[in-house]
Structure 1
Amino acid sequence: MSIQEWLHSNRDYATGRQLYEQHGSSTALKKVFALGESVYNRERLLAELKALLPAAPLPKPAAVPKPLQKEKPAKVKPISTTEKHVLIHRVKEQMYKLYREREEQHAIMGMEHLAAEDRYKHALRVLEISDRLTELWQQLQYIEQHGALPAPEPKYTIPDSGAEMLKLLANLKSQRSRLRNKPDRQEDYQLVCQRIEEIERRLKDGNQ
């Protein structure tokens, strides 16, 4: 039986485990699946076998988000066809990873003995992933429509008021905590860290 046939069958756990033994690459997961069927193992096995299939078209969200900008900014330089394909591929790769992680989060949330607090944390992560996927869909639509990168964000400014800087600093530190362990948001994480350092430097200089 092939993986595709298994997915369209009653998805017998033992058969699915044998398929992963044949085609899967993770020794650790093979050991986990060998422990026997459970809600988590069944859901994880399903996700892993799906991941072994050739990449399918990305699922469309229920409501396709509007493009970042309706009109192409005059100052945005179009990219070459090759660069466009590379960029689209990069965005789609991020989306595939996030869709897969979201499936895993849902599988974990379905575990019978998961504490309510832990289930809540996983639910928050699902929401974060969904928000990020919406952002990536917007980027993808913009690139495909305009053949260019979205216009850069307005130049970041730091307020002159010490009180306002402290307020902004607290907000940025909160963002840093949320972004620290998210591989798909490392560029944002580095940017937030740079802004925190700049504000702390200005506050220090102002107190001297």
Structure 2
Amino acid sequence: MQDIKKWLNGAKDFQQGRQLYDQYGDSNVLKKLFAIGDTLLGRKKMETALLELLSNSTPDVVTHEAPSLQLRKIDGVPEELKPYIEKRKKLHNQRRELHAQLRMMLLHQIKKYTDQDRFVIQMNIYEIGREIDEIWRIERYYAETKTLPVPKPATPVVVDPDTSPEIMYKRIHTLRTYLTPSYQKRLKPSRIEEYRTELETLQRYIADDPPTV
């Protein structure tokens, strides 16, 4: 579904969108509508249909077989595994609420919501799906080994000394925008931490060796 995601976030070429729906969609009515050509109604229906396909799809990650049934219940589960199960339940609830909100926006075409608003919700659904899949992976690993997987070390942020001052200051401004309270609502916690680490690294680099603008 990465190609649909790319289409929704790009120029939205009509013929390319038609090919995508022919590949992934199952409504013959919509396929006949799109075959007529690039019309205002067809374009509107196409974007809605592809958004629905993407929001209802499984994330493009390796899925894992669910752990044994005894690990699905909190009672009797080892203490170190309980936070993951609780988080998975909360993520399922969040995704269910986002799906309901997206369906309402798509069905009723509420004007106060923009395409960007719908796309942000869809991307949140996608990211939550990735988190749920990762938790299932951890639970399966624990079921097989009775230990938690060792977390991967964070990739250090390295500043390229050849980066121009203009680009460096522009990136700092962008990162500060991402870390504003209003923008953080759109981001997952891990991404917020990545942006914060990158911002701090850039600021330290400039403090130690300020570039000449």
Q: Normalising by the residue count of structure 1, what TM-score does the alignment of the two structures yield?
A: 0.50
Q: Normalising by the residue count of structure 2, what TM-score does the alignment of the two structures yield?
A: 0.49
